[in-house]
Amino acid sequence: MVGLVVVSHSPALAEAAVALALEMVHGEPPPVAIAAGIEGAAFGTDAAAVAQAIEQIDDGTGVVVLMDLGSAVLSSELALELIEPDLRSRVHLTAAPLVEGLVAAVVSAAAGEPANVVVDEAASGLLGKETQLGIEPVAPDRETPGAGERAVITITPLHGLHARPAARLVAEAQRFDATVQIRNITTGSASAPATSLSRVAAVGARQGHEIELIAAGRQATAALEAIQALAERNFDEHAVISPQAQASPGTPLPAAPGIAVGPKWTINRGDVELPEAPESIDPELERHSLQSAVAATRQEIARARTRLLRNGDEKGAAIFAAHLLMLEDDEIDHEVQAGIADGDSAAAAWHRALRRVQNEWAGLDDPYMRARTADVRAVCNQVLRHLLGTERTIASQAGILVAPDLTPSEIAQLEANLVSGVATAYGAPTSHSAILARSLGIPAVVAAGRELLDVPDGTELVIDGSDGTLLIAPSPETTRSYRVKAEKYAAAVAAAQAHAHEPAVTTDGTVIEVGANVTAAGDTAAVAAGGADSLALLRTEFFFIDRTHPPSVTEQERQYRRIAEAAGGRRLTIRTLDLGGDKPVDYLPIPEEGNPFLGLRGVRLGLLHPHLLREQLTAIVRVARDHPIAVMFPMVTSVGELEALRDELEAVSRAERCRPDQLEMGIMVEVPAVAANAAVFTSRVDFVSIGTNDLAQYALAVERGNPNVAHLGDGLDPGMLRLIASVASAAGDHTRVAVCGELASDLVAIPLLVGLGVHELDVTRFALPRVKDEIRRWARSDAAELAAAAMALDSAAAVRALVAARSAS
C-alpha cells in the first residue's frame, strides 16, 4: 500500500490533519508518517526528519509526500538528496493542498491505488471547494453520463456530501469491479467518477439533493445496491437531532448562592498603554522579545481553546482558533518586522499593525466582520501584555458582571462589596472560578448561553445563585420582588453571622465541626474571625501554579507557617499538591492524556516526582512541630499508594524530629472504589475527607467544568449518598469523617450529611454561618431518618424535593 508523509511547520497541525484524514477510512488505513516541527523551536521543518519519515514508511510500493508551505517544500526536496537513489525513485512530492489533498490521498491509498493515482487524487483535492464557491476549477474534462445501470439516492446528511460521507461513498464504489459515476440531478451537474473523492465533492451535493448513480461492469448491480444501502444509513453519519429536541445550552446553573439585582457590565479590556519609545532600539532584541511574546500568547490561547473543546464548546473554541490564525498572519508579521527594522520597538510595531487591521475591519459593511474588531483588540493587547510585562486588571463596577467565562485570577480581583453578582455564558458550578465566587460571597450563575453576551451593557438583570434564576430586563414589579427577596436573604445571613462563633450542635446534642477552606494568611485571619472551628483545607497547588519553577522548601514553609499562625491555634489541614487534571504547570511536564482527570494527578503525580513530594512534606512537618497540622493526600486509589505515602511521611518526620502525635495523616476520598471499600482505608489513617466534587465526577461519569452535562452531576444523587454512608459507616467513631467540596456548603445537603454520620463539614467562608445555623435546626435522629429515606429515592431532584418538604413542615 502506498505510504504518505506529511511535512508541516506545526506538529499540532500535522497530527490534526492526519487524524481528520484517517476518519474517512473504513477498514485498514494506509501507512502515514509525520515530519513536523523542529525540536526546541516553535515552528519549522527538518530535512533529516523528512528523510527518516520516508524511509520509515516505504514498503516498496511508493511514497507520496504532502507539504504545507515554504521551507516544508525545501526540506522535502533536500530530503530526496539524503535517501538512497532506489528509494528516491519511488517518492512523489505533490503540490496538493495539505488538508484536502491528504484526505483524498488517504482514501485513494486505502483503496489500493498506485502512487500516480494517489498523487492525482491529492492534486484534485480543491475541486469540491471550488465548485461549492462557484470557482471554475482547472480540472480534467467532466464526463457525461454513460450507459449502464442507474439508481437515484437522496442526500440526507445535514451538511450534504461533505468530506466524511463522500469518503464513505468513494470507499463503497471502490470495493466493486464496476465503473460508477455520480451526477447531481438537482443542480444538473456533469457526472463524475464515484471513485474520486475530489470529483465526488465537486458535484456539490447538499442535504435533500437527488443524486443519480450510473454503474457499468461485472459488479454494477452490487455496487449500486451497496451505495443505496449506505445512503439509507445516512452515509454512516450520526443522526442529527433537531434543534427543538436538543438540550438547551443556555439554561443557567446555580454557582454561588445569593440574589443580585443590577445593571449588566462587562470587563473593560481597554488597550494597553504603550510606554514612551526608548532612545535606542536593538532590532535583534526586539525581534526576540516579539517572538517570545507571541509564543506565550499562542500557548495561552491554545490552552483556553483546548478547555472549550473538552467542554464540547466548538463555537467558543472557534473564536480562539481565529485568534491563533491572527498570530500566524504573514502580512501582519511582515508589517511588524518592517516597523522594527525602521527603528520601532516591538510593542509599537505590533500595536500599529494590529490597529491598522482593526480600523480596516471596523470600516467594512459586514456587521459580523465589524464585530470581530474586538478579537483583533484582544490579541493585540494579549501580546502587548507579554511584551511589556503588565497584568490584566479588572476595575470592579456596581451591578452584575457578565463574561464568557472568568478565570480564578479574574474573580479574585473583584470587589465583593461593589460587584453584586456574576453571570457567565459558559462554565460550570464546580469550576474553580465558581468556587472562588462562593468564597467571596458573590452570587453567581453559569452556563447561561452565548446569547447573554449580546445583551447591551446597562440592561437590568436579576440572578439567584441558589436556584439558577437569570432574568433579563424584568418588569419593575419583578425587580421589586427580587429586591425584597435579596433583603430577606441578607437578613438571614446576618442573623446566622451573629451566632457564627458558637458551636454547631444538633437539637439532640451532637456537635458537628464546621471548618472553612483557606488560600492565604489574610484569608485565614478573616475565616478564623468568622467563627470557623478549624482551617479545613489549604489547597497548596495555588502556590505552585503560574510559576516557571516550583517553590523551595523554605518558601513553602514560610507560606504554611504564616497561615498556621493566622489560624490562632485552630487545626490547619494542608492538602499536598493536587496538580494534573485541569491544573497543569509548565515546569512539570505531563504527557498528553486522553482524559487527564483519570490520569496523572494528585498523589499519582507526587509519587512519580518524589523530590517534589518530599520537599512539600518537609515544609509541612517543620510547621507541624509547633502548630496543630493535619496533612491530607489527594486522589488516593490503592492501599499500596497509601502505605508508600505513610512511609515517606514517617521518614521525613524522623529526619525533621517531628513526633507522630504532632501531625495527623488523612486522605481524600474521591475515587468511588475507595468509598466502597472504605474500611481498609479508614483503619490506616486519622481522618478522611470526602471530596464530593471529584467523587461525584467519577461516580456519576460527569466531567467537572463541562456545561453540557453539569446538570447531571448533582452530589445529592442517591448513589452518591450511599457512597458517603459507606465511608461514615466504615469509619465509625475511630476515624474522623469530613465532607468537603460544594456539597458541604449546600444547605439542602446539610441534614442529609449529618444524618449519614459525618463528623465535620468543610465549607467556604461565606457559607459557614448559614451551615452552622442549618445544623442547629435538626436533631441527628431526624436527620438520620431523612437520609435513609433519601437513599431510597431515584434521583437527586427527588432528594431535594424531599428535604424541602421536611424543612417546610
pLDDT digits (tens, 9 = 90+) for 439-462: 678 899 988 887 888 888 899 999
CA–CA separation, 796 and 752 (whole Å):
12
Query: Does 804 score more than 90 pLDDT?
Result: no
Q: How is residue 381 written as a grid cell?
A: 493587547
Which residue carries 439509507 as its cell?
A: 232
- Domain presence at residue 273: no
170-222 pLDDT per residue, tens:
878 888 888 899 988 887 777 888 877 656 766 778 788 889 999 988 888 99
CA distance 113 to 92: 14
In this predicted structure, what is the pLDDT of residue 605? 85
Q: Which of 427, 383, 421 is nearest to 404 (CA)?
A: 427
**Which of 341, 370, 388 is where one domain is finished?**
388
**Cα–Cα dist 190/182, whole Å:** 8
Helix (H) or strand (E) segment spanning residue 4: strand 3-8
Is residue 247 domain-resident? no
Ramachandran region, residue 178 (left: φ > 0; alpha: ψ -120 to 50; beta: rest):
beta
Q: How far is CA 490 from CA 258, 476, 493, in A?
A: 8, 21, 5
- The per-residue pLDDT for 48 is 85
621-636 b/e with 16+ CB inside 10 Å = b? bbbbeebbbbbbbbbb
15 and 66 fall within a common domain:
yes
Q: Is residue 542 part of a domain?
A: yes
| Mean pLDDT of the chain, nearest integer | 83
C-alpha pair distances (Å), 406 with each of 80, 149, 304: 51, 61, 11
The Cα 19–Cα 28 span in angstroms is 14
Determine the pLDDT at residue 268.
Answer: 62
66 and 105 in contact (C-beta within 8 Å)?
Answer: yes
Do the domain assignments include residue 79? Answer: yes
**685: CATH:** 3.20.20.60
The domain boundary, picked from 388, 416, 450, lies at 388
pLDDT at 733 over 90: no
Residue 386 has pLDDT above 80, yes or no: yes
pLDDT band at 738 (very low <50, low <70, confident <90, very high): very high
Neighbours of 153 (CB within 10 A): 21
Q: What pLDDT is stored for residue 312 in this prediction? A: 46
* pLDDT at 204 (0 to 100): 73
Label residues 342-356 b or e (16+ Cβ within 10 Å = b).
eebbbbbbbbebbee
Quick check: is 398 in a domain?
Answer: yes
pLDDT reported for residue 323:
74
Can you state the percent helix, strand and coil of the chain, rounding each to 5? 50, 15, 35
pLDDT: is 706 or 95 the higher one? 95
Looking at the predicted structure, is the pLDDT value of residue 526 above 80? Answer: no
- List 574's β-bridge partners, or say none: 538, 631
Torsion 745-751-752-755 (CA) sign? positive
Spatial contact of 453 and 425, defined as CB atoms under 8 Å apart: yes
**Catalytic residue (choose from 209, 627, 658, 740):** 740
Residue 332 has pLDDT above 50, yes or no: yes
In the predicted structure, residue 808 carries a pLDDT above the cut 90? no
Considering the domain architecture, whether residues 526 and 618 belong to the same structural domain is answered as: yes
The mean-pLDDT minimum among 350-354, 403-407, 588-592 falls in 588-592
Number of domains in the chain: 5
How far is Cα 250 from Cα 693, in angstroms, rounded to an integer? 23
Q: What domain range is 617 assigned to?
A: 502-808
My answer on whether 605 and 752 are in the same domain is yes
Give the bridge partners for 583, in sequence order.
Answer: 580
Domain identity same for 636 and 778: yes
SS (H, E, C) 260-316: EEEEEECCCCCCCCCCCCCCCCCHHHHHHHHHHHHHHHHHHHHHHHHHHHHCCCHHH
Which pLDDT tens digit goes with each residue over 1-23? Answer: 899 999 998 888 888 888 888 87
DSSP class of residue 473?
S
Q: How far is CA 591 from the centre of its chain?
A: 16
pLDDT in tens, 393-408: 677 889 999 988 776 5
- Say how far apart CA 266 and CA 446 lie, in whole Å: 15
Query: For residue 68, what is the domain's CATH number?
Result: 3.40.50.510
Of the candidates 532, 216, 287, the residue with the CA atom closest to the CA atom of residue 194: 216
Contact 120, 99 (CB under 8 A): no
pLDDT exceeds 60 at position 585? yes
Q: Pick from 345-354, 514-523, 664-673 the range whose average pLDDT is largest.
A: 664-673
Does residue 359 share a domain with residue 477?
no
Identify whether 128 is part of a domain. Answer: no
Q: Which of 149, 164, 224 is nearest to 194 (CA)?
A: 224
pLDDT above 90 coverage of the chain, percent: 33
pLDDT (average), residues 568-588: 78
Q: What is the pLDDT of residue 239?
A: 46
Residues 467 and 542 in one domain: no
Task: Assess whether 432 carries a catalytic annotation.
Answer: yes
- Secondary element (H or E) of residue 35: strand 32-36
Sheet holding 210-216, edge to edge: 149-154, 210-216, 179-184, 192-193
Asked if 670 and 718 touch (Cβ cutoff 8 Å), the reply is: no
Same domain as 634, residue 747: yes
Grid cell at residue 63: 511514497
- Give the percent of the chain with pLDDT over 70: 83
Query: CB neighbours of 325 closer than 8 A, spacing ≥ 6?
Result: none
Distance (Å, rounded) from C-alpha 371 to C-alpha 591? 38
Q: State the pLDDT confidence band at 534, using cuts at 50, 70 and 90.
A: very high
Does a structural domain hold residue 248?
no
Range picked from 135-144, 191-200, 528-537 for highest mean pLDDT: 528-537
| Residue 452 CB contacts under 8 Å (≥ 6 apart), including other chains | 250, 402, 423, 424, 425, 470, 472
Cα–Cα distance, 312 to 727 (Å, whole number): 34
- Tens-place pLDDT, residues 628-648: 999 999 999 999 999 999 999
State which of 270-279, 390-399, 534-543 shows the largest mean pLDDT: 534-543
501 is catalytic: no
Alpha-carbon Rg for the chain in angstroms: 31
Segment 542-561 shows an average pLDDT of 83
Domain containing residue 235: CATH number: 3.30.1340.10
Greatest CA separation for the chain: 94
User: Which of 476, 478, 408, 24 is closest to 236 using CA atoms?
Assistant: 24
651 and 742 fall within a common domain: yes
Both 412 and 479 in a single domain? yes
Instruction: Say if residues 459 and 263 touch (Cβ distance below 8 Å).
Output: yes
Q: What is the mean pLDDT of residues 566-580?
A: 88
Neighbours of 732 (CB within 10 A): 12
Stronger pLDDT, 452 or 132, i.e. the higher one: 452
Q: Where among 429, 456, 491 does a domain terminate?
A: 491
Mean pLDDT is highest, among 100-109, 445-454, 646-655, for: 646-655
Q: What is the rounded average pLDDT of the residues 468-482?
A: 92
Looking at the domain assignment, is residue 272 inside a domain?
no
Mean pLDDT in residue range 677-693: 95
Q: What is the CATH classification number for the domain harbouring 337?
A: 1.10.274.10
- Per DSSP, the three-state class of 92 is strand
Alpha carbon 17 to chain centroid, angstroms: 21
Structure pTM?
Answer: 0.54
pLDDT at 708: 66
Catalytic residue among 432, 499, 609, 711: 432
Q: What is the CATH number of the domain that holds 485?
A: 3.50.30.10
Strand 63-67 with 91-94, pairing: parallel
Amino acid at 272: V
Continuous segment of H or E residues that includes residue 470: strand 469-472
Q: Are residues 583 and 675 in the same domain?
A: yes
Residue at 669: amino acid letter:
V
Statement to judge: residues 709 and 594 lie in one domain: yes
Residues 708 and 799 in one domain: yes
